[in-house]
Amino acid sequence: MLKIEHLTKAYGSKKAVDDLTLHIAPGEIYGFIGHNGAGKTTTIKSCCGILQFDGGEIFVDGVSVRENPLECKRRIAYIPDNPDLYDFMSGVKYLNFVADIFGVPQRDRQERIARYAGMFGLTEDLAQPVSAYSHGMKQKLAIISALIHEPRLMLLDEPFVGLDPKATHTLKGLMRELCDRGGAIFFSTHVLEVAEKLCDKIAIIKNGRLIASGTTDEVKGDESLEQVFLELVEDDHA
Amino acid sequence: MLKTLIRIRLAAMKETVMRRNTGLKRRGGRGMRILIGLAFAYLALCLLMLIGLLCYALAAPLAGAGLGWLYHAVAGLIAVSFCFMGSVFLAQSQIFDARDNELLLSMPIPPRLIVASRLLSFLLLNYLYTAIVMVPAAVVYAVQLSPGPMFYVGYALGFLLLPMLSTALTCVIGWLITLLIARMRHKNLVTGLAMIVFFFAFMALYMNLQNYALALLQNGQEIAAVFERVMPPFYSFGMAAEGSVLHLLLTAVWCLAPLALVYALLSRSFQRLATTNRGAAKVKYVAREMHVASPRAALLRKELGRVFGFPLYLFNCAIGGPMAVILGVVVLVQGPGILSALSAAYGLTGAGFLVPFVIIVLCFCAICTCTSAPSISLEGPYLWILRANPVRERDLFFAKVMANVLIGGVPLAVASALFVIALPMSAADAALVVVLPLLAQIVMAYLGLCLNLLMPRLDWVSQAAVVKQSGSVMAAVFGGMGMIAFPALLYAFLLNSVMSFQVFGLLVGIVLALGCLLMHLYLGRGGVRRFRAL
C-alpha cells in the first residue's frame, strides 16, 4: 500500500530523514515513533506530497508520489499534528469543501458527514464557524474530513492529541475498521501504550534514521515498548 | 512591571510594522523597507501639506476676527476625529481580544497594569495621529501671527492632553462596536461594511476640508458659539492656546477625567471583558441538502468566503468596487456637470479629456481591488489543506484570479454602465469605458497573484499585517499605478497628435490583454513550480 524507498530529505545541511525504507501492507496499522525532531513529520509530509524530497521514492498503491502526486492524494488522507482549518468557514462548509475537492457524490457525503459527526459528537456544532472550535473539535473535524472520501491509506501525525477519551476510542475503532477493509494506516505518536496495543507494526526513528522496525512483538520482545524505545534512544546517546 | 508590559506592546507593534512583512528574503527586504518608508513619508507629507494649506487659509482671518481660539479648537477637533477614525477598529484586537490577554492574566500581573499598558500604547498611536494635524497648525499659527510664549505652553500642554480624550473615546466606542457587532450573525461582513462607511466618511471629510474652511470663515461667530456650547473640551483647548490658564486647567480636566474613568472601569472589569465569550448565540446545525460543486467552483467559493469573512481584507484589498459604484451613482444623479468640474479642477479643460478621465478614474478603482496580491500568503498555516488534498495548482490559481475579477469586475461593470448612461459619449468611447477598466481589473488579479508567488510570506503572526503591509500588495498597487500613469502620460504628451483616443484605447486594450496572457502562461509553468516549492 505504501512503499518508502531510501527516502532522504534535508533542510539546508541538516538531514531530517536519511535513507529511510519502510513498507506498509494493506490491513496494517503501522506506528511511527521517535523523539521530537526525529523526522516523523517530515516523513509523513513527504508521503502525502506536501514536502518535496531530495532522494528516494515513495509509492502509494504502486503510484509514485513524485511522478503523480494528484493520483496519490486521491487515495490517501492526511491529518496534521496541529490542524489549522479555514476559520472563516463553518464546520459543515469545510467538510463540503473537502468533499467537493474529492468529488464525493452528494448522497455519500451527506451520509458520511452525518455518520462520522455523530460518532464524534460534533453534529450540533457543524454550523458553528471553525474559529469558535476548540483544539479537540478541530481535530475531530479534521478526522471527519479525512474520512469523507473513504481513503485507502491514512497518514496521521499525532492523531490522538487533543481528543477526549471517547473520541480517542472511536478513532481507534475506525482505524481498525479501515484496515479490516483492506486499507492501511501509518501514524506517528508519542503515546507508546497506544502504539503498543493498536499497531500491527512499529518503526522507530532517531535523527532521521530508522533504528528499529517490524511487528510490534518483534520490536518490543519481552519488554514494554517504552523500555525498548528508551533503551534504543539511550544506546544511541552512549 | 508596567515598563516591561509597555516594552512588549511596543515591540509587538514594531514587529508588526517592520518584521519582514514584505515577504521578501533578506537580500531584497531592505530595498522594499526603504520603498515602504518612502511611501509612508510621501503620504505623511501630503497630509501635512493639506493641513498646512488649510491652516494657512484660516489662521490670520480667524485671529483677525478675534476668534484665534476657534482656530485651535478646530485643529483639536480634526485631530481627535482623525485619532478616532484611525484607531476605533483597533480597540477590539488591541485591547479586548488581544491574543496575549489570557497569557498575561495567568501571570501574577494586576489587571490594572495590563490595562495601563494597553491604554498607553493606544495613547502613543494617537499622539502620532494628533501630530499630523496639530504640528502644522501650530507652525502656521506661529509663523503668521507670532504669538506670545503662553501660546506655546498652552498649545504644547493641549497637544499632550487631547490624545487622552480621543483614547478614552476610542476605547469606549470601540468596545461598544465590538459588543454590537459580535452579536450579529454576519459580523465579519458588517465589520467590513462599517470600515468602508468609515473610510468614505473620512474621504468626505478630507475632500470637503476646503468647504468647511470657507464655511468657518463665513460663519465664524455662529460656529464659535456652537463650539462654546456643545464642545467644551475644544473650546477650553482653544482658549488655553490663547493663554488662558483657567481653560488650560479645564482642558486637563476634560481630557484626564474621561481617560481616568475609562482606566478605572476597564481595570475593574478587564478580566471579565477579556474572557467573556461575546460571540453570537450558538447556531444548531440542521442537516440540509448539500450543494455539490466542482473543485474549481469549491476553491472559488473558498476564496470569496475568505475575502468576505475577513473585514480588513475586504477593506484593504476590495475597496475599489464600492468606490466605483458610488462614483457611478454620484455621476448619474448629478449629471455630466460634476465630471466636467472635476476635469477642470485637474486642468483637463478640453471636452476630449472627459472619456480618458473617466477611464483613468475607473482604472484607479480597479487597482484598488487586488485580493489576489496577499492570497498566497494568507494560505500560510492552511497550506497543508491544499497540499495534502488533490488540488491542481491551476485550479487554485484560477480561483484566486477569478475571485479578484468577480469582486472588482462586477461593481466596475455596473459603474461603467452608470457612467455610459450618465455621460454623452460615442459608442466607441462607451466600449472603451466598459472594456479598459475590466481589462485593468484582470491584469491586477493576475499581477497580484504572480507577485505574491514571487514574494510570499507564509510565516505570519497576524493576517492583518499580510493584508496591509505585504511587499506583494504594495508592489501590485505601485505596478497598477504605473499601468495607469504610463499610457496616460504617453498619450497626453506624445501620441494625442498622432492618433485618436479610440485607436490609442484599442492599443492599450491589446497590450493589457497580452499582459494577461503572458501572466497566465507564467502561472501555468513558473507559477506552479514556485507554488510547489513554497
pLDDT per residue as tens digits for the range A8-21: 999 888 888 999 99
pLDDT per residue as tens digits for the range B234-248: 989 988 988 889 999
Give long-range contacts, CB 8 A cutoff, 24+ apart: A173-180: A174/A119, A174/A143, A174/A147, A175/A29, A176/A29, A178/A151, A178/A154, A179/A26, A179/A27, A179/A28, A179/A29, A180/A27
Would you say how long chain B is, in residues?
534
pLDDT per residue as tens digits for the range B102-161: 778 877 788 888 888 888 888 888 898 899 889 989 999 999 888 888 889 999 999 999
Tell me the C-alpha distance between B320 and A90, whole Å: 28
**Would the pLDDT of B22 be above 50?**
no
Q: B121 or B344: whose pLDDT is higher?
A: B121
Q: A–B: how many Cβ contacts below 8 A?
A: 94
Cβ neighbours of B494 (radius 10 Å): 9
pTM: 0.76
Tell me the C-alpha distance between B35 and B29, whole Å: 10
Return the pLDDT at B520: 95
Nearest to B271 by CA among B105, B460, B473: B105
**Would the pLDDT of B348 be above 70?**
no
**Would the pLDDT of B278 be above 60?**
no
Q: Which residues contact A139 (CB under 8 A, 6 or more apart)?
A: A79, A83, A159, A161, A162, A163, A167
Mean pLDDT score, B205-210: 69
**Would the pLDDT of A58 be above 90?**
yes
Chain A residues in contact with B382 (beta carbon < 8 A): 84-86
Q: Which of A50, A128, A132 has its CB closest to that of B388?
A: A50
Q: Which of A80, A123, A132 has its CB closest to that of B285?
A: A123
Chain A residues in contact with B310 (beta carbon < 8 A): 88
Chain A nearest-CA residue for B379: A86
Chain B residues in contact with A98 (beta carbon < 8 A): 385, 389
CA atoms within 13 A of residue B425's CA, in its CB half-sphere: 28
User: Domain A2-81+152-237 adopts which CATH fold?
Assistant: Rossmann fold (3.40.50)
Tell me the C-alpha distance between B392 and B400, whole Å: 13
Q: Which of A73, A110, A114 has its CB closest to that of B389?
A: A73
Sign for the CA dihedral angle at B426, B432, B437, B441 comes to positive
Q: Do A110 and B290 touch (CB under 8 A)?
A: yes
Cross-sheet strand order for the sheet of A29-34: A76-79, A153-157, A184-188, A29-34, A201-206, A209-215
Residues of A with CB under 8 A from a CB of B: 45, 48-50, 52, 70-71, 73-74, 76-78, 80, 84-86, 88-89, 91-93, 96-103, 105-106, 109-110, 113-114, 123-128, 132
Return the pLDDT at B21: 45
Q: A233 or B277: whose pLDDT is higher?
A: A233
Cβ neighbours of A174 (radius 10 Å): 18
Task: Note whether B90 and B198 are within 8 A (CB).
Answer: no
Beta-strand ranges (E) seen in chain A are 2-11, 14-24, 29-34, 55-60, 63-64, 76-79, 153-157, 184-188, 201-206, 209-215
Mean pLDDT score across all residues of chain A: 90
**DSSP string spanning B62-118?**
HHHTT-HHHHHHHHHHHHHHHHHHHHTTHHIIIIIS-TTHHHHHTSS--HHHHHHHH
pLDDT per residue as tens digits for the range A124-167: 999 998 988 999 999 999 999 999 999 999 999 999 988 999 99
Return the pLDDT at B24: 44
Q: Do B389 and A102 touch (CB under 8 A)?
A: yes
Weakest-pLDDT range from A183-187, B40-44, B357-361, B502-506: B40-44
Minimal C-alpha gap between B174 and chain A (Å) = 21
Percent of chain A with pLDDT over 70: 98
Q: What is the domain partition of chain A in residue ranges?
A: 2-81+152-237
pLDDT per residue as tens digits for the range B359-377: 998 999 999 999 999 999 9
Minimal C-alpha gap between B290 and chain A (Å) = 7
Return the pLDDT at B528: 92
Return the pLDDT at B26: 45
Mean pLDDT score, B459-466: 76
Tell me the C-alpha distance between A170 and B328, whole Å: 58
pLDDT per residue as tens digits for the range A111-129: 999 999 999 999 999 999 8
Q: Do A96 and B291 touch (CB under 8 A)?
A: yes
Mean pLDDT score across all residues of chain B: 83
pLDDT per residue as tens digits for the range A88-110: 899 999 999 999 999 999 999 99
Say yes or no: B460 contacts chain A, CB-CB below 8 A: no
Cβ neighbours of B160 (radius 10 Å): 14
Tell me the C-alpha distance between A151 and A53, whole Å: 23
Say yes or no: B301 contacts chain A, CB-CB below 8 A: yes
Which ipTM did the prediction report?
0.88
Cα A59 versus chain centre, distance: 16
Instruction: Go through A4-18 and write b for each residue having 16 or more CB atoms within 10 A of its CB, e for each that does not.
Output: beebbbeeeeebbbb
Q: Do B388 and A48 touch (CB under 8 A)?
A: yes
Task: Note whether A130 and B309 are within 8 A (CB).
Answer: no
pLDDT per residue as tens digits for the range B27-84: 445 666 676 677 777 777 777 787 888 888 888 888 888 888 888 988 898 888 888 8
